[in-house]
Amino acid sequence: MQTISKACCSRSPVTLAGGYNYNPKGTYTEYNGLNTYETGSPTAKRGIFLCYDIFGLYIQTIRGADILASGYLPIPDNSGDFKVFMPVFFGNSPADAANYPPKTPAQTKEISDFMTGPANPNKTVPLILPLLEAMKKKNPQIESWAILGFCWGGKIAALLSQAGTPFKASAQCHPSLLEQRDASNVIIPHVVLPSMEEVPEVMDLWIEALKVASPKSYSETFTDQVHGWMTSRADFNNMHAFEEYLRGYRIIRAFFTQFL
C-alpha cells in the first residue's frame, strides 16, 4: 500500500515575499514533444533527470536545478558540472495551489483526481526511458546518468531505480507515495532526504528495506524542515530554511559525484 504524506496536502507552496528576483540559468528544449528545462555545461559528462513535485515549475525548483548543475557559487564544492534535465510533465496545468490545504469536499476531490489522473505514476513512468533516449541522442557527451525526484517525483525515481535501470544512482527528497516493495527493489545507490513531516512508521521501514536492498544508499532526515523544503515550499526569506535547502542539494551533488 502506497502512502501519501499527509504533509503533501497540509499547506500551499511558498510565494516568496518581496518579489523574489532570480534569473534562471537554463533554457527550454523539446524532447519527444515535451518541453524540458535544461541547465548546465554543454560539455558536462554527467546528466541528471529531474522529476519535480506536483506544483511544477516554481522558481525554487528551477533554482535547485541550476544548483545541481553547477553548485552554489558562494559555497563552492568539488563536485564538478552536471547537466540537468527537468521535463515539464504537467505543462501549464500542475496541481492547483489554491486547493492546498483543501477546505471543501470539492477541493479534496480535485486533489484526488489530479493524483489519479495527470500525476498517476503509471502514466509517467513509461515516458521516462524514451525521454532519456532522446536526451542521450542530443547530448552524446553525457556518459552517465542519475535520476532525482521530489515528493511525487520521488516515487518516479524509486520506480526507475529497479532492475534494468539505465541510471547509476538516484535520489528523492521529502518523499510521498511510499511503498516498501519499491525500496526492496532498488538496485542502485539511492539517497533519501525526508522532512520532519514524513510518517516515521512508514519512512523508517522504507529506509530499512532500502539499506538491505542497496547497502551503498544514504538517508538523512531534515528534522526541522517542512515537506517540500527543497522545491515549491522552500522559504528563501528564512535564512535557516535557505541554508538547509542548499545543504540538501550539496548532499545530492556529492552523492551523485561519488557514483557517476
Q: What is the mean pLDDT of each run of 10 residues along the chain (260 residues)?
A: 56 58 91 96 95 90 93 64 95 84 87 88 94 97 97 95 97 93 97 92 94 97 93 90 94 95
Q: What is the pLDDT of residue 194?
A: 95
- Picking from 187, 159, 192, the residue whose alpha carbon sits closest to that of residue 175 is 192
In this prediction, residue 114 carries a pLDDT of 86
Task: Give the pTM.
Answer: 0.93
Q: How confident is the model at residue 107, as a pLDDT?
A: 86
* Contact of 185 with 162, CB cutoff 8 Å: yes
Bridge partner list, 47: 83, 145
Residue 1: what pLDDT?
46
Which domains does the chain carry? 6-14+25-259 (3.40.50.1820)
Given this model, what pLDDT does residue 21 score?
Answer: 76
